[in-house]
Amino acid sequence: MRRLTLASNSPRRIELLGLLGLPFEVSPADIDEQQGPGETPLAYVRRLACEKARFIVKKRVGLVVAADTIVMDGDRLLGKPADPAEARQILRKLRSREHQVVTGLAIVAASDGRSFADVCGTSVHMRDYTDTEIDAYVATGDPLDKAGAYGIQNADFHPVAGLDGCYASVMGLPLCHLAVGLQGFGLDLSRGLPERCQAYLGHHCTVYNTILGMAQR
């Protein structure tokens, strides 16, 4: 079995990767994450994932998995809020509206540099939460380390009314896309994964058959 390394110390990505049922190590990548001049959001998030994986693979064996997630309100990128005031501003802007969450994913083999890269996009519709709910959520500090100022999995705030796409990708790691990529490195981990993912997230997924079907083409 190939050794697996996650190039992130995100608790959410660590939890999700654990659903694959493989042991793995964690080695976060410290790279420059500035968007390049004229770089599209999709190209940007894909590049960051690839650069993170290649940064870590130099000092590891086996396979390195990396991901990067961005939140897009139209053409505008919503990063992590600088302070509670900005978090409130972002949450008010997103309220009762749809936006996009995009995760870039990369896998690189240490042995020969072979790689896989993909991008997963999800449309997210926020519920009509109140200003009082926003204030209570911001007071917890949870929005301050999250792009778009929210965590989809937060049970108390419960910011999302519905989505079209991959729930796990909004959390930071699209597991079915990852399973498709790992098949190219001789690891078939798709069996039972959709069921484990849905049970863990408490979410009924409507896209896993389409995503996993890509590996059969």
Question: Phi then psi for 189, rounded to 5 degrees?
Answer: -115, 15
Q: Is 156 a catalytic residue?
A: no
DSSP 82-115: SSHHHHHHHHHHHTT-EEEEEEEEEEEETTT--E
Closest by Cα among 174, 194, 51 to 119: 174
- Nearest 5 degrees, angle CA 120-CA 103-CA 196? 75
State the catalytic residue, choosing from 30, 68, 83, 118: 68
Sign of CA dihedral 54, 56, 61, 66: negative
Q: What token pair was written down for 47?
A: 């590049």
The percent of the chain in helix, strand and coil, each rounded to the nearest 5, is: 40, 20, 40
How many Å separate Cα 103 from the centre of its chain? Answer: 5
CA distance 115 to 46: 12
Spatial distance between the Cα atoms of 71 and 91, rounded to a whole number of angstroms: 12
The catalytic site residues sit at 68
